[in-house]
Structure 1
Amino acid sequence: MTKRLFLLLTAIAAIAVVAIYIPPDEFYPAGFATLATPFLLIGTAIALVYFLFQKSRWSLAPAAVIVLFLVITNGMFSLGLHKEGAGDRETVKVISYNVNALNYFDRSQKYTGTLTAFASWLSNVRPDIVCLQETVPANFYKILPSYYRYFSGKETLEGDSLGLFIISRYPIAFAGKREFAFNSFNRLIWADVVINHDTIRVINVHLKSYNFYKASRLRKLKNIKGGLMARSYHAKLIRNFIDESPYRVVLCGDLNEPPHSYVYHTLSHKLRNAFEDAGTGYSYTYNFLGSPVRIDNIFASDGVVFSSYKAYHDITLSDHFPIEADIVLQDRD
C-alpha cells in the first residue's frame, strides 16, 4: 500500500513538473499544478528515501522526477557560472523594487519616514537605472532629482495614482506603456535609454497579484485561478512586445510567479536572468505565507550580460526586497 501511494505521488509530481509548459490561460489546472510542485517534490524526496531503504528499483522513479525538475526549472538555484567580468567596459547598475507604495495608503506619518529612508538608501546605492512597482508619484519626483523618469499608473478610488516608474541616470529618448487590460493597475511600461552611443529598451512590469485581502476561502480560490490565468496572458503580451523591440532589452518587474511557473519559463526562454547568471545559492524577494520565494526579477536579452546580482534582504521598507544587477553591454558584431 505504501509503495503504491509513493508511486502515485511521484506520478502526480511528474505531471506537475511538466505543467510548466502549459499556459494557465488556456488550461487553468496547469497553474494549480505548478503551485503545488514544491510540496509534491518534498513528498517525492520522501518516496526516494523510502525506496532506497527498501533497496527497490522503484527508487529510480522519484529520482528521475527530481532530476527532471532541476533540469526544467533552472531558476531555483544558481552557482553563478554565467557571471561575466566587465573588463574595461562600463557597467550599468540596475535596481528593481516593488515598494508597495511605501505605506502611503496608511495616511500616517509612517509614509514620510519610509519615503525618507528609501530616498536615502537609493542615493547611497547610486543606481544607473531604477524600475519601481506599486509607486505613488507624489514626492517621487524629488528622489534622484537629476535623473530622467517615466511614470504610468491608474487612478485609485481615493483619487491617487498607483503605478510604475522607470528612473534613469542616462537620457530617455522615448517611453510608453501597454496596459494589460483597460485602466488596469497591471501594465508594462518601457523607456529607450541612451547609454553613450548605444540604446537599450528598459521594460518594467507588474503582473496581477492574488489579492487575498479580506477574501473568503472561496473567493481566494477564485482569485488564485484568476491570477494564474491573467499572468499567463500577460507573459504572452510581454513576450510579443520583446519580440517587437528594435533594441536589446532589459526587463524588470514583479511577476508574482516563482521560477517553477509557466510565466517564468516563457520569459526566461527568451531572456537571460540576473540571478541565474550571476547569483549564488538560493535567493528570495518576497515571503509568501511565510515561505521565501523569488518573484521579482531582472532579465536581459542577448548582448547584455550580468556581472553581479544582489538581493537586499536588510531593506524592509516594503513587503518585497529590492534586487540589483550590474549589466554590461557587449559590443555588436
Structure 2
Amino acid sequence: MLYERVYLHMAGIVRTLTKKLFISLNILLALCFLTACLVPYLHPARWWPVGFVGLLFPYVAILLFFYLIFWLIIKPRLALLPLFCLLAGWQQFASLFAFHFNKNQFSEVKIDPQVRVLSWNVGSMSGASKNKEKQKHARTEIADAIIKSKADIVCLQEFSHSSTQGPQANNLGLFKNDYPWHFYSQDYSRRQGFYQYGSVIFSRYPIIDSGKISYPGKRSESLIYVDILKAKDTIRIFTTHLQSFRFNDSDYQDMEKIKQQDSALFNASRNLYKKMQLAFTRRAIQADIVRGYTDGSPFPSLICGDFNDVPTSYTYSRIRGNRQDAFLACDFGIGRTYIDIAPTLRIDYILPDHRFTIHQFDMVDEDLSDHLMLLADLSLKK
C-alpha cells in the first residue's frame, strides 16, 4: 500500500514537471516566433541578431503548429498560446507561402503584348559542377538555356566576362544575336578587362536609358537599371545582387563540423556567425538604397535579383514595399531558389509594381547554377 502511494506521488511529480517543461518550451518558442514576426520592422544595422531569427521562421512555425495540435488533444485551453502566435504571424506567412493550389503549367508560348522576364544568378558562368572540363562548356549551356526560354528581358547576377581573353571568355558575345541591347555593371574589373564581374541586363527591346548605383564598400556590387521601349510604353527594369554570406569551402566544412558536433565546434560557429552578422548589416543598408531609387522610378518598374535573404527578412520587406511578388501571385508552397544549405531559401525574386499584370511564373532548375532560373510573363495594365 505504501509502495503504491509512493509510486502515485512520484508519478504525479513527473507529470507536473513534464507539463511545466512543455509549457516553458512552448513559451520560449512563442517568444522566438513573435520576434521573427518583428524582423521586417527591425533594421539589422541596429538589431543584427534578428537576422538569424528570421531564417528560423518556417521551422519555428512548424513546431508551433505541432504544439497547437498537441494541446488540442491534451489540454485544449493551452492551445490558445500557439494559436494566438500563429494568427499574429499572418503577414509573415503571406510573404512566405504561396496559396495557388491550382497552379498551371508554365506555357512556353508568349502572348503579345506580354513581356517575358528572366532573372538568374549564373554563378560566374562556370556551372554547378566542380569538374574543370565541364566548367569550360557551362557558359554556352547557360546561354543556350536562356535563349531557349524565349525571354524578352534577361537579368543575370554574378555574370563574368572578359574583353581580352578571346571568344572562350567573351560571355557578352554569347547573347548579341538574340539580345541586341544590354547594360553591364562591371562591378569588378581586373587587369584592364581580363576578368570582369557584375550584373547585366539583356533586352530584345531598345534600351533608351540606363544607370548604375554603387553600394558603399570596397567589395560591394551595385543596383543597375535600364529603361526599355516597348511599342509606346517605357518600362524600367532594375536588377541587383545584394551582399552574400560569402561562404567558401572552409565555411561549408565548418557547417559539417557543427552538424557532427566536432571538437572545433566553437571556432566553426564563431567564423560563420561573424560572416552572417556582417552580411545582415550590409544587406539592410543596400536594401534602403534600392528602395530609395526604385520608389523614384518615373515609369512602371520591376525589380529582379538575388537578394540573398528570405521573404521573412527586413531586406525583402524593405525592397518589396507594396510591390507584387511573382512567386506569390502564381505559385504554391514556400519555394526555393537557392539549392544548397536548406530547403527553405527563396532568395531570388521578380517584383513588379501594381501597374503590371502577372500572367504566369516558373522556377526552373537547369542544373547549371546553385540558383534556379526565374521566369515571369507580365503585361502593363491599360
TM-score (normalised: structure 2): 0.80
Partner of 2:137: 113
Coordinate RMSD, CA, aligned? 2.7
Q: Measured at CA, do residues 279 and 221 of structure 1 come closer, stay the same or move farther in structure 2, by a change above 3 Å?
A: same
Distance, in Å, in 2 between the alignment partners of 1:77 and 1:43 is: 16
Counterpart amino acid of 1:152?
S
Q: Measured at CA, do residues 88 and 204 of structure 1 come closer, stay the same or move farther in structure 2, by a change above 3 Å?
A: closer
| Greater strand proportion | 1
Partner of 1:188: 223
Q: Percent identity?
A: 27
Counterpart amino acid of 1:184?
R
Distance, in Å, in 2 between the alignment partners of 1:18 and 1:58 is: 24
Counterpart amino acid of 1:78?
A
Counterpart amino acid of 2:133?
Q
Partner of 2:62: 42
Distance, in Å, in 2 between the alignment partners of 1:30 and 1:292 is: 18
Please list every run of 5 or more consecutive structure 1 residues that lacks an aligned counterpart in the other structure.
none
Partner of 1:330: 381
Q: Measured at CA, do residues 77 and 189 of structure 1 come closer, stay the same or move farther in structure 2, by a change above 3 Å?
A: same
Counterpart amino acid of 1:123?
I
Match of 1:270 among 322, 341, 355: 322
What SS does structure 2 have at the residue aligned with 1:208?
coil
Q: Measured at CA, do residues 292 and 4 of structure 1 come closer, stay the same or move farther in structure 2, by a change above 3 Å?
A: closer
Q: CA deviation at 1:143?
A: 2.4
Distance, in Å, in 1 between the alignment partners of 2:305 and 2:150 is: 19
Distance, in Å, in 2 between the alignment partners of 1:189 and 1:69 is: 34
Is contact 1:23-1:31 (8 Å) kept?
no
Aligned pair 1:169/2:190, yes or no? no
Partner of 1:202: 237
Q: CA deviation at 1:164?
A: 0.4
Q: CA deviation at 1:156?
A: 5.9
Distance, in Å, in 1 between the alignment partners of 2:96 and 2:295 is: 26
Is contact 1:153-1:185 (8 Å) kept?
no
Partner of 2:45: 25
Within-5 A mapping of 1:24-173: 24-80=44-100, 90-103=113-126, 108-138=132-162, 139-146=170-177, 147=179, 148-155=181-188, 160-173=195-208
Q: Deviation per CA, 1:26-70: give whole Å up to 9, x if none.
A: 211222221222232233123212211213312121122223323
Counterpart amino acid of 2:201?
I
Counterpart amino acid of 2:124?
A
Within-5 A mapping of 1:152-301: 152-155=185-188, 160-213=195-248, 214-215=250-251, 216-301=268-353
Q: CA deviation at 1:123?
A: 2.1
Counterpart amino acid of 2:377?
D
Q: Measured at CA, do residues 276 and 104 of structure 1 come closer, stay the same or move farther in structure 2, by a change above 3 Å?
A: closer
Distance, in Å, in 1 between the alignment partners of 2:338 and 2:185 is: 24
| Greater helix proportion | 2
Is contact 1:257-1:295 (8 Å) kept?
yes
Is contact 1:75-1:275 (8 Å) kept?
no
Distance, in Å, in 2 between the alignment partners of 1:12 and 1:141 is: 47
Distance, in Å, in 2 between the alignment partners of 1:65 and 1:322 is: 35
Distance, in Å, in 1 between the alignment partners of 2:57 and 2:381 is: 37
Counterpart amino acid of 1:29?
P
Is contact 2:206-2:229 (8 Å) kept?
yes
Counterpart amino acid of 1:178?
I
Question: Which ranges of 4 or more aligned residues in structure 1 deviate by more than 4 Å?
Answer: 104-107, 156-159
Larger radius of gyration: 2
Distance, in Å, in 1 between the alignment partners of 2:143 and 2:245 is: 29
Number of residue equivalences: 330
Q: CA deviation at 1:157?
A: 6.3
Distance, in Å, in 2 between the alignment partners of 1:259 and 1:52 is: 30
129-138 or 1-10, which deviates more: 1-10
Please list every run of 5 or more consecutive structure 2 residues that lacks an aligned counterpart in the other structure.
1-19, 104-109, 163-169, 252-267
Is contact 2:98-2:329 (8 Å) kept?
yes
Distance, in Å, in 1 between the alignment partners of 2:341 and 2:111 is: 44
Q: Deviation per CA, 1:54-93: give whole Å up to 9, x if none.
A: 1331212112222332333423222349x9xxx9860000
Distance, in Å, in 2 between the alignment partners of 1:38 and 1:88 is: 37
